[in-house]
Amino acid sequence: MEDMRYVAVIFWAVVLGQVAGFIGGALNQQTFNSQQTMIVTVVFAIIFSIIPMLLDNDKKNRA
């Protein structure tokens, strides 16, 4: 059940990343590139999913 948390994070990161990419493109008067936005969004979602695991692991090693 813990793995579903990571699936949900990636799903919502993709949805919100696409929205942010669309709005950012509109504000900069550029065309919206869905593929480029998807790549950036997935990379950041993976990074933000890994950071809590690393910090939790570091906390366990100190104790």
Q: What is the DSSP string of 4-62?
A: HHHHHHHHHHHHHHHHHHHHHHHHTT----HHHHHHHHHHHHHHHHHHHHHHHHHHHHH
pLDDT tens digits, one per residue of 2-60? 678 778 888 888 899 999 999 999 999 999 999 999 999 989 888 888 888 788 766 66
- pLDDT for 62 equals 66
- pLDDT for 63 equals 58
- pLDDT for 52 equals 80
